[in-house]
Chains A and B, each alone.
Chain A
Amino acid sequence: MNVLKLSPEELIKYCYQCGRCTGICPLGEISFYSPRILIHNALMGKPVDPQRLAQCSTCDLCSSKCPMDVMISEFVREERHKLRQSGMILEEAHFGIFSTLARLMAKKTWKANLNDYFPKEIQFSDTSEILIFTGCMSLFETYFEYKYTNIAKSAVKILNHLKIKPQILKEQVCCGHDLFWGGDYENFRLLGEQNIELIERNGVELVITICPECYRTFKLDYPRYVRNYNFKVISFSEFLDLELKEGTLIFPYEIPRTITYQDPCRLGRQLGVYDAPRNVLKAIPGIKLKEMERSREDAICCGVSAWMNCNLYSKAIRMDRLLEAQQIADTLITNCPHCLIHFNCLKNEYAETEKKYTLEILDFKEFIAKALLLG
């Protein structure tokens, strides 16, 4: 993608107005949202409608279909940045608490407390060359009802099981993904600087991310918008896939379940990691991995990213997706904590009604930990 290495503003001039983006857009199906009109208006010099900008979930399904490789999601991000610079405040879900916390972290006035979340049986090493970047799990846990730190704990437990004692940095801050996609470049750069400086100072060779949004930010956005760094970044599923190929990761217990896998937009379309998590899941005995009709490159997202656009439309996308998953499997595995938050939110909302969703929604890392009987 993006062979010409042009900026999103330049790339939109390549647009043919062919309408492929709007035809494939999960929002275009249910609302009057149209990426094509967004680009057309920008090309005609009309002011961009802030509500439309906020609606986009930046899932990149449109860009993957675009004949001219127009990076529509990046264009949306740039436009949000411009709006923010002009003094406009874009509405955010959950009263903007997560962006506010991230901004506080960027200004070093507040810090998430990671100490309480890791029990003693989890082993760390302060000199290890492998770092596990846990992201914002503790923040999610304080706000939502689900035990999100379990995801981080499970990831570390799996690493311990593979006889790896990773390093964890208590001073780590948010990667800045949500600020970045909300158009707040200034605070994003501050966060990026802090993280890169911290990781480089501690002599880390390899950073394992457990959240696809952190992975994308480290891999694509830090080198382009913050600065280059001298460590490697890998996603947890890719790391497990490598361990699986080396033969160190073995699943001894049988788990008879029919599962399906939700490709997070950040990990799938934007970074091309489709096979690694599937390989790991398929290696568990007794597992039947079924593919949804819209999977891999055509997967639709959970409807929200960067806390920008939680509304009835994104809920409709989620309902559609959960029904699609429920028809073929009893468990939906996702790799992204954001997908987990959004799907669980919908599931809880309908838990008491007749339309309740019967399928179980689990995180990839938690599921693997369970398969290894690690908790």
Chain B
Amino acid sequence: MLEVAEHPLIELITNADLLDVLGYIGNFDVTIRKNPRFVDESKCTGCEACVHVCPVYAPNKFDVGLGYRKAIYRPFDQAVPNAVLIDPEKCIECHLCVRECEPKAITFDQKPEIRTLNVGTIIVASGFQTYNPIGEFGYGKFANVITQVELERLLAPNGPTTGEVIRPSDHTEPKKIVMIQCVGSRNLQNNLHCSGGVCCMVAIKNATLLKQHIEYADITICFMDIRAAGKGYEEYFLQSRKNGIKYLRGNIANIKEDPETKDLIIRVEDTLSQDIIDLQANLVVLSTAMEPASSTEEISKILRLEKSADGFLKEFHARLDPINTKIPGIYLAGAVQGPKSIAESVAAGKAAASSAAIPMIKKVHEIIKLEAIIDPERCSGCGLCINICPYQAISLEDNIAKIDTILCRGCGMCAAICPSHAATLRAYRDTMLENYIDALLSEF
């Protein structure tokens, strides 16, 4: 990130929302709203003197609510740009920070700034979010049921406990830990899709780390299938078994809390031995599914991109072209296309950068002349084709449909719906097809 921020040819706009995208490859008009951070980025040195005087506390989003931050804060240690920002919902405008700030960087008169950028290509990398398991397996009800992301923050040296793993209820070190896989995924109630083996590997990694933190930890992973598919993954799985992590094949039937010790009692069938077991645990960790980020819906509408059945953005071809989208010049990187591990996300990011670089360097975009054409004498301007076109390539001009030849991909939807047969495909006109059929039938 730091390299990107300091690159002379890259302009980094943070804390901004996408409002509108018009145009086509080589000529996109992107409208964004840069939200005010109430701090001048060019003046702020990131000394955090303002943070120390701020009297308002709020849950720290980066630590998934486990720690706290102030109303004026730096999102996290490696944040780029290295500047603080003010949360307008929490700030009480006491202006203590303004007095403390030596470079006079804090300005409360910043307004949202609307900017329009003319760009050649767009890479979408808006990521994913984790499933919120509230109400499932006692999450939100029992104190010692946490998610993998929360455990990861507890394990992190820069986390709220500076790397010390403690249970939320009494801040003691957990000895018996149970991890539950496939929470919020692989079920018909909310999400049938598997998170691509990411949660499996995260659980194995966190269990291995826990074992290093807490020497005598008794860690059990309750799973349905371990999907360790990837380079070195199976070996890592094997290593974790060697380290003494127990794997129990079975899904949790019931979870109860001991009201005195706040320990959890988990009823599970060990399907391999067919025993019904009551597991005792000091801490339960839920491996929650990866699901599309809440912004994906809005982004898909603005960019006119389709979504797959699992709610992630749809690529041009799931096997052969997973980076391009149906719109030339828009590329997908990372988990916005589907659940991905870090390695896959890096690969997708580099692939998207390369794909975007090709037309930008060649300065040429080739289109196949497989496009729809409108007979202006037949067109009645009813507008049916405008609504059905998946690429928004048709507009009305003087009450006659006009096709943008760059956007049109020749799918033929307009030709099929046009009631007056005004729209046809250039290479597949009805007369041509009739001639094909006649020629084929004449052989018999």
Contacts and interface: CB of A to CB of B under 8 A. Distances in A.
B276 A67 contact: no
Given A23-B268, A24-B267, A18 B188 contact: no
Contacts, number: 65
Given A20-B252, A23-B267, A37 B274 contact: yes
B197 to A, nearest CB: 15
B189 A67 contact: yes
A37 B267 CA distance: 18
B269 A3 contact: no
A23 B276 contact: yes
A29 B277 CA distance: 9
A149 B271 CA distance: 46
Interface string A6-23: 000000001011111111
Nearest to B270: A19
Contacts of A24: 253-254, 267
B189 A69 contact: yes
Interface in B193-243: 224-225
B274 A34 contact: yes
A68 B188 contact: yes
B188 A23 contact: no
Given A18-B250, A24-B253, A29-B276, A67 B186 contact: yes
A306 B175 CA distance: 47
B276 A36 contact: no
Contacts of B267: 23-24
B188 A16 contact: no
Given A22-B269, A28-B276, A37-B274, A16 B186 contact: yes
A296 to B, nearest CB: 13
Instruction: Tell me the dominant secondary structure on chain B's binding face.
Output: strand
B254 A19 contact: no
B439 to A, nearest CB: 45
A32 B269 CA distance: 12
A65 interface: yes
A4 interface: yes
Contacts of A67: 182, 186-189, 251
A255 B270 CA distance: 48
A23 B137 CA distance: 14
B251 A19 contact: yes
A28 B251 contact: no
Contacts of A16: 186, 224-225, 251
A23 B253 CA distance: 5
B163 to A, nearest CB: 34
Contacts of B274: 22, 32, 34, 37
A23 B186 contact: no
Interface string B270-290: 110010100000000000000
A22 B188 contact: no
A20 B253 contact: yes
Contact of B269 (A14, A23, A298): A23
B269 A19 contact: yes
Contacts of B252: 20, 23
A17 B249 CA distance: 9
B159 to A, nearest CB: 32
B250 A23 contact: yes
B194 to A, nearest CB: 11
Given A28-B276, A36-B271, A19 B250 contact: yes
Contacts of B186: 16, 67
A215 B421 CA distance: 57
A3 B276 CA distance: 29
A20 B276 contact: no
Contact of A20 (B188, B251, B270): B251
Given A19-B268, A24-B267, A36-B271, A65 B188 contact: no
B187 A19 contact: no
Contacts of A69: 188-189
Residue from A16, A20, A23, A68 with most neighbouring chain B CB atoms (10 Å): A23
A207 to B, nearest CB: 32
18 contacts: A16-B224, A16-B225, A20-B253, A22-B253, A23-B250, A23-B251, A23-B267, A23-B268, A23-B269, A24-B253, A24-B254, A28-B276, A29-B276, A34-B269, A37-B274, A65-B253, A67-B182, A67-B189
The 7 closest A-B pairs by CB, nearest first: A23-B253, A67-B187, A19-B269, A18-B251, A24-B253, A19-B250, A19-B271
